[in-house]
Structures are given as C-alpha cells and as structure tokens.
C-alpha cells in the first residue's frame, strides 16, 4: 500500500516535470501547449480494434528516437496520426531540413495542429483517415501507436499493397504490435530500444519500446 502511494507520487513528480518541460518548448514553437489529452474517436480494447487518443510524445523521447534517424533535404516526412502535432514541433525545433507532414482523423486534435502549423511553410497537416492516404510521396514515416493491434495489422496490409518504393518507419510504443512486422516479407528492423528513464526522468511508467524499420517492396 505504502509502496503504491510512493510510486504514484514518484510518477506524478516525473510526469509533472516532463509536462512542464514540454509545455515550455510547445509555447516557443507552437505558441500554445500541446499537453492536453484528446480522447479517442473510437476504440474497442477487447477486440484490439480502433484508434488511440491523442497523447503527445515527450520531446525528450523524440530527441532520443530521432538521434537514430537522419533526415535529409530530399526526404518527405509524415507522422501518421499526428495528433496536435508534437512530432512536427520537435522536428521544427531540431531544424529538420525536409518537408514535414501529418495526417490526423480526430477533428479536435487536427484543429490544434492546423492552427499552430499555419505559420510554418515547411509543414502540412491533413485532416483525414490514414487508411485512405497514398504513401508513395513519403520517405520517412512516424507512428506513435495510432492504432490498436488488429487495426495496425489491417493498416500495414493496405500500406504494403499501395507502396512502390523503399521507406523508413519509426514505430514508437511498439511492444503491443511491433512484432507483427517482424516476419513480414520486405520489412527489416534496423534498431530497437526500450525506454523507462532518460536523464534520470521516468519517461514511461512501464518500459516502452520503439523500433526503426525499413520496408522495401522489392524485398518481398
């Protein structure tokens, strides 16, 4: 009991510090905070179907993830399920030299992203369903666990069917469904790491993984 209370207070302190750090960066880049959670439009956890709510990934985590990815001027980046746009904000902060895009189905989250990104010519946010987008214009894709596992598998099948060139996929919070890519023809895991602490801050209550994949239709 004592341990639980201690653990909750400990987690709360760490998440408050992280959110304050995030908010300071959000305000500089976006002119507003992107911290507030926006609940999912539709999810059915019992059947693993649907979409997650819009929770922004901490900057400290994004810094760690993107230390393993180099974006060049020739790249065209997209965040699939961009929420309020935190990943795009991080990449602006990190001076990513390429075009930065996001697609978001949740109108409340999309409106926030659309509002603050207007002033950045480099950024384009699309309102709509990620299942309906043509991914051929993009080279580097990010997913911050937008889908529950069954929906994730359906998305990957549709995605593979439409793609005609190699891409890189960064998949954050991959422990629930990342394994679905493991034995799929054409996919190769380039890097994986599990995070709990970064610089002494507890960034995840339970260890959370991310993996970086390449997919080449020619390898199928």
Ligand X SMILES: C[S@@+](CC[C@H](N)C(=O)[O-])C[C@H]1O[C@@H](n2cnc3c(N)ncnc32)[C@H](O)[C@@H]1O
Tell me how many residues contact ligand X (CB under 6 A).
24
Binding to ligand X by CB under 6 A, coded x per residue (else -) over 62-81, reads -----------------x-x
Among 76, 78, 86, 139, binds ligand X (CB under 6 A): 86
**What minimum distance in Å lies between the beta carbon of 174 and ligand X?**
13
User: Is 44 among the residues that bind ligand X (CB under 6 A)?
Assistant: no
- Residues 47-69: b if buried by 16+ CB within 10 A, e if exposed: ebbebbebbbbbbbbbebbbeeb
Residue 134, judged by CB atoms within 10 A of its CB (0-12, 13-18, 19+), counts as exposed
Residue 189 tokens, joined: 């895991």
Does 104 participate in binding ligand X (rule CB under 6 A)? Answer: yes
- In sequence order, what DSSP letters do the residues of 150-180 get, joined into one string? HHHHHHHHHHHHH--S-EEEEEES-TTTTHH
CA–CA–CA angle 14, 177, 74 (5° rounding):
85
Out of 76, 83, 141, 177, the only residue in the binding site for ligand X (CB under 6 A) is: 83
Q: What x-and-dash track marks residues 158-197 binding ligand X by CB under 6 A?
A: ----------------------------------------
Is there binding between residue 106 and ligand X (CB under 6 A)? Answer: yes
Q: What phi, psi does 204 have (nearest 5°)?
A: -150, 135
Q: Using CA atoms, how far apart are residues 49 and 46, in angstroms rounded to an integer?
A: 8
Q: Which of residues 136-155 bind ligand X (CB under 6 A)?
A: 144-147
Which positions touch ligand X (CB under 6 A)? 51-52, 54-57, 79, 81-83, 86-87, 103-106, 109, 129-131, 144-147
């Amino acid at each position: 009991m004592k341990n639980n209370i201690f653990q909750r207070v400990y987690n709360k302190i760490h998440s408050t510090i992280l959110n304050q750090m995030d908010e300071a960066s959000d305000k500089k880049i976006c002119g507003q905070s992107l911290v507030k959670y926006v609940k999912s439009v539709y999810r059915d956890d019992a059947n693993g179907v649907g979409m997650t709510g819009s929770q922004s990934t901490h900057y400290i985590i994004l810094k760690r993830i993107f230390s393993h990815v180099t974006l060049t001027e020739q790249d065209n980046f997209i965040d699939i399920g961009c929420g309020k746009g935190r990943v795009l904000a991080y990449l602006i902060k990190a001076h990513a030299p390429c075009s930065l895009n996001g697609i978001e189905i949740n109108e409340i989250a999309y409106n926030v992203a659309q509002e603050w990104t207007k002033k950045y010519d480099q950024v384009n946010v699309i309102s709509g369903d990620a299942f309906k987008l043509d991914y051929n214009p993009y080279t580097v894709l990010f997913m911050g666990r937008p889908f529950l596992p069954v929906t994730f598998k359906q998305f990957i099948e549709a995605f593979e069917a439409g793609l005609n060139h190699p891409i890189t996929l960064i998949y954050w919070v991959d422990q629930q469904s990342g394994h679905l890519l493991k034995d799929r023809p054409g996919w190769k895991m380039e890097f994986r790491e599990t995070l709990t602490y970064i610089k002494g801050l507890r960034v995840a209550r339970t260890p959370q993984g991310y993996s970086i994949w390449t997919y080449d239709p020619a390898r199928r």
